[in-house]
Structure 1
Amino acid sequence: MLRALHPIIMEIQLPPYISRDLILERLPIIFPEGTANRNYVTRTMAASTIFTMLYIGAVDGNSIYAGPKHVYRMTEEQAVLQSNAERLTYGREALKKGTQVEGTRWYADNTREPIRDETLREGLQQVGAVLVLQSVATTSSRPRYALQREFSELFDPGLTGEALTDAITNWQEQNLTANARLRISLARRTSGSGDNHVLVRFPNGEARRLSTGASSDISKAVIEVFASSFLENPAVLWLSTSDAKVPYLDESLANDIGLRIQPDRDLPDIILADVRHGNTILIFVEVVATDGAITQRRKDAIYALTDAAGFMREHIAFLTAYHDRQKAGFKKTIIDLAWGSFVWFVSEPDKIVHFREGDAMTLTDMMR
């Protein structure tokens, strides 16, 4: 049984009581698709952590701090007790060795690491939702975490409707980095319009309509964003989608550069060309929503095509394009990506990953 608190401590103003279920409903709105480590800040463990911090008043400015022990010692029965005295008593007593909180525990003691390392350090701290008391060593058992006050106010149960939406938008604008907001903005984009098609504009001014879907969204970004960002004089030679009865082919340009393109199962979704004064660079792009990355087998098959056309291999590039590196498609296919190929993410359009191969180099050399 938890003991009652001293009357002076009971005067602390706690945040309004809110259920864990309601917190869990709000988290995906506060942290939409595109948020870094989104799973860590939207799952039930994150809701449990935020609930517990609100419950004991661990909010910046209150001089009350939470630790993982507060979270994993919380019980179903304790969580429904709503008086200030009951909440503050739990915050104080849960830290004491041998304390037995009545009821069914939310988590076992061995969840300390995922609460601390994933939910707090890699999740809520990274997005500015949780502050850390720096005077407490990381190896200390003392509580050291508090919710940022503005973030905690997003969980006022009286804040609903348009007022809640405005408060969340304002918090995102004030606290998420420019790069984080860009990723979220790109992830929010929906395909096409009322006619269920995505309009893709090519560098030469042509346009093509693709059926709505994740692959079409990525294809559109590759042609409209990647090509203009990473190529000097981009052109689209080939575009094929799963629903296209007739793939797009710029036969005139293909003939000019000596590339014979024939529909084949080893052709990727997109072939781009960087048409320069001198040597043309060909970029073979595979779009991955769920599967189908540039593997070594695909790379070798494409080399057979370009070798026959007389292209030097140093003028051939391979790219696998994904929506976001947190998506299942990337996690599923990364193990099969071919060495020497590139990876690009729609949600991080100014960056590119190179799976470098070749002679060994020191890390210092690679950083130059």
Structure 2
Amino acid sequence: MGTAKRPTRRIGWGALSGRPCRTRTDNQRIKSRKVCVQLEESQSRSRLPGAGTRTLHPGASSWILKGVVEKFAASLVEPNVLFISQPGEKVNLLDGKALKDMGLEVDQATLLPDCLMADLAPSRDEFWFIEVVASDGPVTEERRQALIDWATAHGLEAEKCRFLTAFESRTASEAKKSLPVLAHGSYAWFANEPDGLLSWDELRFA
């Protein structure tokens, strides 16, 4: 009595036992299909507040940015994403036109927050400057001042500007490195704890 053969399996493509041998052309087609699937999965579509979607480029920062757009924005009364900057697409054409129509032109050479969001509710009327940190680039005192200077030069009130640095988690190495240099009067948000917000500000007692 012969030894039973154990079926051969390939993760993600199902059991292969009992199938005819593939030719080189078959294997090339499979490889090409697998690469296409990986490329499609590497990009993430993010739902914008209100309506519409935006395709985010692959990478850790995009995963955090997706959380900001879909989850942090939900904490605002009337959220509106005005601008998203990504590697290889510093200023989206639609974002650039919308900002220009509002009189808010972005200087690609000097000032590019990862995301600019507004709470359009009359009771809020706030602008959120958001930096996503998957490696570096938190809202420091210097960065905060540069953003305020840009905002006031375009007619926005400094008192209505809010500054947020988004991280993957509180235990992420990037967060541990960045938290000590966050600007006073700014906030930190963590993608794995979307319902919380860390505030760094001066003590005020009545």
Tell me the residue number matched to 2:204.
361
Check if 1:276 corresponds to 2:121: yes
Question: Which secondary structure does the structure 2 equivalent of 1:317 belong to?
Answer: strand
Tell me the residue number matched to 2:73.
227
Which aligned pairs between 1:230-241 and structure 2 lie closer than 5 A?
A: 231-241=76-86
**Corresponding residue to 2:88 among 243, 260, 280:** 243
Tell me the residue number matched to 2:130.
285
Tell me the residue number matched to 1:200.
46
Q: How far did residue 351 of structure 1 move?
A: 0.6
Contact 1:239-1:248 at 8 Å conserved across structures: no
Which portions of structure 1, spanning 4 or more consecutive aligned residues, are displaced by more than 6 angstroms?
Answer: none
Tell me the residue number matched to 2:112.
267
Tell me the residue number matched to 1:27.
none
Give, in whole Å, the separation in 2 of the partners of 1:281 and 1:248: 24
Give, in whole Å, the separation in 2 of the partners of 1:258 and 1:276: 20
**Corresponding residue to 1:301 among 146, 149, 158:** 146
Give, in whole Å, the separation in 2 of the partners of 1:214 and 1:266: 22
- Deviations 1:119-141, CA, capped at 9 Å, x for gaps: xxxxxxxxxxxxxxxxxxxxxxx
Q: Please report the TM-score for the alignment, with normalisation by the length of structure 1.
A: 0.43
CA 355–220 in structure 1, closer or farther in 2 if over 3 Å, else same: same
Contact 2:90-2:108 at 8 Å conserved across structures: no
Decide which structure has the larger Cα Rg and report it.
Answer: 1
Give, in whole Å, the separation in 1 of the partners of 2:123 and 2:204: 30
Specify the code of the residue in structure 2 equivalent to 1:297.
E
Give, in whole Å, the separation in 1 of the partners of 2:148 and 2:90: 26
CA 246–256 in structure 1, closer or farther in 2 if over 3 Å, else same: closer
Give, in whole Å, the separation in 2 of the partners of 1:344 and 1:225: 10
CA 210–335 in structure 1, closer or farther in 2 if over 3 Å, else same: same
Question: Which secondary structure does the structure 2 equivalent of 1:298 belong to?
Answer: helix
Q: Kindly report the root-mean-square deviation, in angstroms, between the aligned alpha carbons of the 2 structures.
A: 2.1
CA 308–234 in structure 1, closer or farther in 2 if over 3 Å, else same: same
**Corresponding residue to 1:340 among 170, 185, 195:** 185
Which aligned pairs between 1:117-266 and structure 2 lie closer than 5 A?
A: 194=38, 195=40, 196-229=42-75, 231-244=76-89, 246-247=91-92, 249-251=94-96, 253-255=98-100, 257-266=102-111
CA 245–297 in structure 1, closer or farther in 2 if over 3 Å, else same: closer
Contact 1:226-1:349 at 8 Å conserved across structures: yes
- Deviations 1:91-118, CA, capped at 9 Å, x for gaps: xxxxxxxxxxxxxxxxxxxxxxxxxxxx
Give, in whole Å, the separation in 2 of the partners of 1:264 and 1:247: 15
Give, in whole Å, the separation in 2 of the partners of 1:252 and 1:205: 18
Question: Which secondary structure does the structure 1 equivalent of 2:162 belong to?
Answer: strand
How many residue pairs get aligned? The number is 168
Unaligned runs of 5+ in 1: 1-192
Contact 1:237-1:249 at 8 Å conserved across structures: no
CA 319–249 in structure 1, closer or farther in 2 if over 3 Å, else same: farther
Unaligned runs of 5+ in 2: 1-36
CA 269–226 in structure 1, closer or farther in 2 if over 3 Å, else same: same
Contact 1:238-1:248 at 8 Å conserved across structures: no
Tell me the residue number matched to 1:330.
175
Give, in whole Å, the separation in 1 of the partners of 2:90 and 2:151: 25
- Select the structure that is richer in helix: 1
Give, in whole Å, the separation in 1 of the partners of 2:101 and 2:61: 29
- Select the structure that is richer in strand: 2
